[in-house]
Structure 1
Amino acid sequence: MDIKTGLVAAYRRYGFSLARDSARDDVLVFTLKTGYFDNAEIIKLGANSVTDDVFREFSAAGYACTVRDAKSPALAEEELFNGFFSVDSTRQRLLDDYRRFTSALVLPYGDKARYEYIKAPYHIDGKEGQKTPPEEVLSRIDEEKPILFLIEAAAGFGKTCTAQEISRLLVSNSKRLPLYAELSRNRQARIFRYILLDEIDRTFPLLSSSLVQTEIKNGRIAAILDGFDELLRKGEDSGDFENKEPMLETVSELLTGRAKVIITTRRTVLFDGDDFHKWLDRHEEDFSVVRIRIQEPKVNDWLPYERVERLKSSGLDVDAMANPVLLSYLRCIDDRSFNEAANEPETIVQSYFEYMLDRERARQDLRMTVHMQSDILRSIAKDMVVNGYTAEQRDYIVKLLLETSGKEIELARNQYATSDRPSREEIANKLASHALLDRNAAESTKIGFVNDFSLGNYVAEHISDSPEWLGDDLRFIEPAVKSYAPRAMSSRRSLFEGLSHSLPFLDERARIEISTQLIGMLPEDLANGAVEGVELSAIEVGASTIESFQFNEVIFKGCRFLKSGLTNVTFLNCRFFDCEVVQDNPVGPIYVLGGASSPDIGSCLSSSLNMDEDVPVESRGRTIERALLKRFWPAGDPITQKPSRPVYKPMKFLCQPVDGFTSAELYNGVGRLLKAGILIELNRSNLIALNAEAMSKAQLVFEGGV
């Protein structure tokens, strides 16, 4: 491409029209009409280009003219980008947004509190990370290929802080601009493509969305989509991939050229399911995926050594304090407040709420005791649980306060002098602007709790006070458990008993997490099920009988395994750290398949029953292989022909006991078929597929050969 063709293409991308291509004068003229102003760019293609006549002509026609020497198309496009996107002022605006965000996080803890991004542990593409998630993104931002960064973390564990930190690093340390899209502001919208366009128009209101998308694809703008999970409505993020695929296809349309798209989300079934991995494999040649999973924070990452030791000397289990909200409080408060909290370690969580409520009295001149504020916040949480919402219009919350807390509001009014006494509505509006309620500017019309830790505290109080409470909405149950996990055993057991009627209606993962976090034990009735991806610490596995159960990719830390309580239990690709096995009398088979252990307990933990001696081992192996291969033919397809479409199966599914075959036999059968090349393991998704180029070998297995 010659310089003239390149310049024409660059200017046209930015909306200019080619108004003059004069070979005689050796100039190009591009014009742009932007409302009231008409602009003309006169480009001198050579050292002797004559521009005087052209300048007079276009000036007389009402154009504001600028004469420039010709540059390479790349440099010209960079200048156009800097001008149209007002790069300097946009960087300053984004830095101001970052400062406002971080200041709001530490403001409740006093004027001297300072924000600092916490370097939480994380895994990147399955391996332990050595930098920080934002630094991992920045280190790859200049790569020529398109990359999708998928950053996953539990609720409250730093997704938005990470997204903001990535934005800051891009503004400060790269030539790129971030497009920061806070998707929670549009959670009521139904079509993701329009949500994205809204965010583009909000960030760059004077530019066309097509131009912004072009620069995303060129790599000059990195798209940060914060809170992708906010678009997954309750009940729709499990198994219904077809409804979510258009959202991901919209993302994939951006991932061309040198595009970088960063998605932050909680870990959901959408991003762990087989269909999502199939979607990734369909786009394997289109873009790369970097998957970052932020782990639970380590106390030592948040608190200085002196404060950690002070908590330990108080007899506190510091690992139980690993909640971001609680750690922020313990990190930011002054030494006097910290020592007061550490002196009562069993009530340290309560001290956080008392601290926040007491500060609220001064911040808003709210003449209301800590106890009265707690009662009011509990009534809001109760209404949320009963009516199934986590945020509502401000008018609704104010009306609710006037109806349910009229006595407390009237008592508060009487604390003011007659001349300064606010109205009931004014007191209700003060409460609606409470520090523990969401006053985010992006959700100015909505009121909800400021974080899940606060929501969970008051939901848990409601559950504990309600005889035979029954509910299955994890939006409320999970925060309640997280909020009570750092507390004394009496409080945790009280919440566990309050949830006891609800536990049978929850899935295995939820029941396991609730039981282990609240009472340090696995549920008593684990049978005929499976769980994946949880982390268990200091738990006795087998204290209550576990039967016909599969643990998939579970991390065990400091756990004790009682073999007498395990019957037909499989540990598939699990990791064991500092665990021990009690060598009592096993009553059923235990399979440890794949995974890692330090120290090695695999041989001690596994045990199996003798296979039927009347069935030859080789014959049984062929039968297993045939049973496995049949799973790769869609229903209705004859096994004598190539399958009508590709079928992918996760290892955890293939190893589930069926037709009298054990997990170990099926696992070994998959291994043999992989070794023979009949099955293949998809590199990026850990799924197993039939090798279309080895169909003749598969047919030999069905015929009894190989």
Structure 2
Amino acid sequence: MKKNDELIKAYQRYGFTLQRRTANDEALVFTLKTGYFDNAEIIKLNPNFQADDLFAEFSASGYACTIRNATTPKQAEEELFNGFFSVESTRARLIDEYTRFTATLVKPYGDKATYEYIKAPYQIDGLAGEKTAPEEVLSRMDTDHPVLFLIEAAAGFGKTCTAQEISQLLTCTAKRLPLYAELSRNRQARIFRYILLDEIDRTFPLLSSKLVQTEIKNGRISVILDGFDELLRKGEDSEDFDNKEPMLETVSELLTGKAKIIITTRRTVLFDGDEFHQWLERHINDFSVVRIRIQEPKINDWLPYERVESLRQAGLDIEAMANPVLLSYLRCIDEESFAQASSNPERIVQSYFEYMLDRERERQDLRMTVEMQGGVLRRISEDMVRNGYTAEERDYIIKVVLENCSKEIEASRNQYSISDKPTREEVANKLASHALLDRSVADSTKIGFVNEFALGNYVAESILADPEWLGDDPRFIEPAVKSYAPRANASRKCLYDGLRASLPFLDTLAKIEISTDLIGQMPSDLINDSVEGLELFSISIGSVGLKSFQFSDSIFKNCNFIASGLDQVTFLNCKFFDCEVVGKSFGGPVYILGGGSWPDINSRLDNSIVRDEEVIAPDRHKVAEISILKRFWPAGDPIDQKPTRPIYKPMKYLCQNSDEFTSVELFSAVERLTKAGILAEMSRSHLFAVNLENIDKAYELFRELA
């Protein structure tokens, strides 16, 4: 009976009504009304049951009847899923979308250019990954519990390509379908829940959103949310846009059963701050989190040895070339074009844009100089920055071109004969179909730059042209910086000067990345601050003084640490590769807490004054431990009772310098509490929790110094 009930529930989830249950449960009849068609499924629970009479009865009532032998509820659900979701045709459509997406990426480089997903280095939960990021995700898809995958990368480092590759792998190799949502393209809905429902309706227009959500939770549909950070910033007319926490709660509502949700995003404060960790705390037992951070691509993964050597011999700074768009260009162009590009290393970025714009003149018979095309694209980027969007309706982009580019349009029209002269609207239409703008595959009405490298180039031009430029939107500043990182020192310095007025409005991570990418040094105002997840290459730390600063979970490669410029600096769970310590006289104490270095520099870099456990008075030990424990109890909670909310805290917050204790004292206190079993270290995101089995030990500590 229980098996039959489960079978009934499976059909009911798909909208069927149990119309008949024969005597002795030898057969079940389910009916489904879908507008013009009425269907009846006759399920024979007894293989010997004669269903002819039932077939005739329901056929006479206007139903299209099908007789099936009973299967297990699981098999029935599989058959219903395959039928309702048209799995084979849906997979064919998804494969076609992927093919069109990849063809769009390489088309500007000529007919012989082919697409290949590049294996960029990445970290997974803080450890170096060994597969590709998409393969890493796919390998965890068959778990029986819900998983949230966070894939983070800087602007232009392949988030969308990674999301598309995951979708393709799911389509071709897994027993599930992807629901791919490119969130930057949906600017109509203001609340994330409705954006998600809109994407469900777009992908499966004939099915109810409730049914789709059920199959997400059953694990048959995996959700890919590409560009989650696009929704975190308020744009025009969006004062009532849902705040961050309800967005996360909407995600958590789907993370039940066997659900798998993949989010791609830029590095953003949302996923590093208290709000996100508090959200994790509330759902610590509901789902697991896998965090993947894509790093800068390796040049040798993109270019053959011969081309890398040609660039080296031309005097190019190879490390500065680590941008996927630029590497794609250098990888796909023919030998003649490559020779021209590499002959003048200082102009190699400009050669990319000149190549693209020159090809556009032939592709669309667009009689407009390279310089004029660049001016049009810059004005479009200026409107994007001014009005806070990265993609808009095609008609809107045409309107922007017509209103702001009259001079260029008329100059172009004058290049045609009188009989062939296009209208102003026809020229604007060509510009709206420009190869550097025509990015959208799924929705041809939406126009945005083909990649963030192109967007950043024209945003940077606007910054350089306007001495009073001021902005704080990372969607535009990050691409501008990345587009100028491969250029000559003078160009990078000019962009840095143009961004100086904006730096105070940016978070610490962004300040450091802008400064190191453009002028090769740390910012000058890093006092009483902290940063997490930073990756620095060939930078001098301390050449500009650092005071009361904490680095958490950061990576330093080939960096020099200037001892005299380091004062009360803490490195928490950081890794050092091929780094050096310069000088022996430190500006103040430096603490190395956890992490490691290869070769070892910890003993030379760590000069903390209070390091030996014996030096600290026992009472101070206890006070430090109680200071740590109190952070697990919300304000107002009695400290002699269990906390009223989840009690997990990230390690970096526990060890922040305070007026009362140094980072090393707090770190030592955490180590002692963990060794005593009062705190327990979690396996993800460096989280700690009060061990409820030993909570009496915590109460005892509170009583000792009451």
Q: TM-score range by the shorter chain?
A: over 0.9
User: How far apart, in 2, do the equivalents of 1:174 and 1:649 lie?
Assistant: 36
User: How far apart, in 2, do the equivalents of 1:514 and 1:433 lie?
Assistant: 32
**Contact preservation (8 Å) 1:185, 1:442:** no
* Deviation at residue 202 of structure 1 after TM alignment: 1.7
Q: Which amino acid aligns with 2:328?
A: S
Residues 239-266 of structure 1 show CA distances to partners (whole Å, capped at 9, x for unaligned) of x999323333333332333322222222
Q: Which amino acid aligns with 1:470?
A: L
User: Following superposition of structure 1 onto structure 2, how do residues 94-173 of structure 1 map, counting pairs within 5 Å?
Assistant: 94-173=94-173
Residues 132-164 of structure 1 show CA distances to partners (whole Å, capped at 9, x for unaligned) of 122122222222233222222222222221222
| Structure 2 residue aligned with 1:558 | 558
| 3-state secondary structure, aligned to 1:420 | coil
Inter-CA distance 399–286: structure 2 relative to 1 (3 Å threshold):
closer
Q: Which amino acid aligns with 2:209?
A: S
Inter-CA distance 52–341: structure 2 relative to 1 (3 Å threshold):
same
* Deviation at residue 458 of structure 1 after TM alignment: 1.5
**Contact preservation (8 Å) 1:674, 1:680:** yes
Inter-CA distance 686–50: structure 2 relative to 1 (3 Å threshold):
same
**Contact preservation (8 Å) 2:367, 2:415:** yes
**Contact preservation (8 Å) 2:392, 2:447:** yes
| Structure 2 residue aligned with 1:491 | 491
* Deviation at residue 638 of structure 1 after TM alignment: 5.3
Gaps of 5+ in 1: none
User: How far apart, in 2, do the equivalents of 1:53 and 1:645 lie?
Assistant: 61
Inter-CA distance 41–417: structure 2 relative to 1 (3 Å threshold):
same
User: How far apart, in 2, do the equivalents of 1:91 and 1:522 lie?
Assistant: 49
| Structure 2 residue aligned with 1:186 | 186
* Deviation at residue 95 of structure 1 after TM alignment: 0.8
Inter-CA distance 677–361: structure 2 relative to 1 (3 Å threshold):
same
User: Following superposition of structure 1 onto structure 2, how do residues 117-516 of structure 1 map, counting pairs within 5 Å?
Assistant: 117-234=117-234, 243-442=243-442, 444-516=444-516
| 3-state secondary structure, aligned to 1:105 | helix
| 3-state secondary structure, aligned to 2:148 | strand
User: How far apart, in 2, do the equivalents of 1:483 and 1:21 lie?
Assistant: 68
**More displaced, 559-568 or 353-362?**
559-568
Residues 401-433 of structure 1 show CA distances to partners (whole Å, capped at 9, x for unaligned) of 334332222221111111101112221222222
Residues 514-533 of structure 1 show CA distances to partners (whole Å, capped at 9, x for unaligned) of 11101111122322212221
User: How far apart, in 1, do the equivalents of 2:644 and 2:77 lie?
Assistant: 48
Inter-CA distance 12–499: structure 2 relative to 1 (3 Å threshold):
closer
Inter-CA distance 398–567: structure 2 relative to 1 (3 Å threshold):
same
| 3-state secondary structure, aligned to 2:669 | helix
Q: Which amino acid aligns with 1:451?
A: N
| Structure 1 residue aligned with 2:650 | 650
Q: Which amino acid aligns with 1:625?
A: E
User: How far apart, in 1, do the equivalents of 2:384 and 2:72 lie?
Assistant: 60
Q: Does 1:21 align with 2:21?
A: yes
| 3-state secondary structure, aligned to 2:48 | coil
**Contact preservation (8 Å) 2:41, 2:67:** yes
Residues 200-241 of structure 1 show CA distances to partners (whole Å, capped at 9, x for unaligned) of 2222222222222222222222222222222212499xxx99
**Contact preservation (8 Å) 1:27, 1:50:** no
**Contact preservation (8 Å) 1:241, 1:270:** no
| 3-state secondary structure, aligned to 1:97 | helix
User: How far apart, in 2, do the equivalents of 1:403 and 1:271 lie?
Assistant: 40
User: How far apart, in 2, do the equivalents of 1:540 and 1:55 lie?
Assistant: 81
User: How far apart, in 2, do the equivalents of 1:247 and 1:646 lie?
Assistant: 20
**Contact preservation (8 Å) 1:558, 1:580:** yes
User: How far apart, in 1, do the equivalents of 2:294 and 2:381 lie?
Assistant: 29
| Structure 1 residue aligned with 2:573 | 573
Residues 177-196 of structure 1 show CA distances to partners (whole Å, capped at 9, x for unaligned) of 22222223324423322222
| Structure 1 residue aligned with 2:522 | 522
| 3-state secondary structure, aligned to 1:502 | helix
Inter-CA distance 331–630: structure 2 relative to 1 (3 Å threshold):
same
* Deviation at residue 17 of structure 1 after TM alignment: 2.3
| 3-state secondary structure, aligned to 2:243 | helix
* Deviation at residue 93 of structure 1 after TM alignment: 0.9
Inter-CA distance 293–187: structure 2 relative to 1 (3 Å threshold):
farther
Q: Which amino acid aligns with 2:142?
A: D
* Deviation at residue 25 of structure 1 after TM alignment: 9.9
Q: Which amino acid aligns with 2:335?
A: D
* Deviation at residue 307 of structure 1 after TM alignment: 1.6
User: How far apart, in 1, do the equivalents of 2:635 and 2:352 lie?
Assistant: 57
Inter-CA distance 186–504: structure 2 relative to 1 (3 Å threshold):
closer
User: How far apart, in 2, do the equivalents of 1:217 and 1:486 lie?
Assistant: 44
**Contact preservation (8 Å) 1:40, 1:58:** yes
| Structure 1 residue aligned with 2:59 | 59
Q: Does 1:635 align with 2:631?
A: no
* Deviation at residue 22 of structure 1 after TM alignment: 2.5
Report the TM-score when normalising by structure 1: 0.93
**Contact preservation (8 Å) 2:224, 2:261:** yes
* Deviation at residue 579 of structure 1 after TM alignment: 0.2
Inter-CA distance 242–678: structure 2 relative to 1 (3 Å threshold):
farther
* Deviation at residue 392 of structure 1 after TM alignment: 4.2
**Contact preservation (8 Å) 2:185, 2:446:** no
User: How far apart, in 1, do the equivalents of 2:251 and 2:453 lie?
Assistant: 31
Residues 669-702 of structure 1 show CA distances to partners (whole Å, capped at 9, x for unaligned) of 2222222233333343423344445454334444
| 3-state secondary structure, aligned to 2:501 | coil
**Contact preservation (8 Å) 2:119, 2:132:** yes
Report the TM-score when normalising by structure 2: 0.93
Inter-CA distance 452–648: structure 2 relative to 1 (3 Å threshold):
same
Inter-CA distance 628–136: structure 2 relative to 1 (3 Å threshold):
closer
Inter-CA distance 470–44: structure 2 relative to 1 (3 Å threshold):
closer
| 3-state secondary structure, aligned to 1:571 | strand
Inter-CA distance 623–12: structure 2 relative to 1 (3 Å threshold):
closer
User: How far apart, in 2, do the equivalents of 1:446 and 1:171 lie?
Assistant: 25
| 3-state secondary structure, aligned to 1:500 | helix
Inter-CA distance 175–22: structure 2 relative to 1 (3 Å threshold):
same
| 3-state secondary structure, aligned to 1:210 | helix
Residues 477-507 of structure 1 show CA distances to partners (whole Å, capped at 9, x for unaligned) of 2211111000011111111122223333433
CA-based RMSD:
2.8
Inter-CA distance 59–581: structure 2 relative to 1 (3 Å threshold):
same
**More displaced, 473-482 or 573-582?**
473-482
Inter-CA distance 694–63: structure 2 relative to 1 (3 Å threshold):
closer
**More displaced, 31-40 or 318-327?**
31-40
Q: Which amino acid aligns with 2:117?
A: Y
| Structure 1 residue aligned with 2:82 | 82
**More displaced, 241-250 or 173-182?**
241-250
User: How far apart, in 2, do the equivalents of 1:599 and 1:686 lie?
Assistant: 24
User: How far apart, in 1, do the equivalents of 2:162 and 2:263 lie?
Assistant: 11
**Contact preservation (8 Å) 1:147, 1:255:** yes
Inter-CA distance 30–500: structure 2 relative to 1 (3 Å threshold):
closer
* Deviation at residue 197 of structure 1 after TM alignment: 2.1
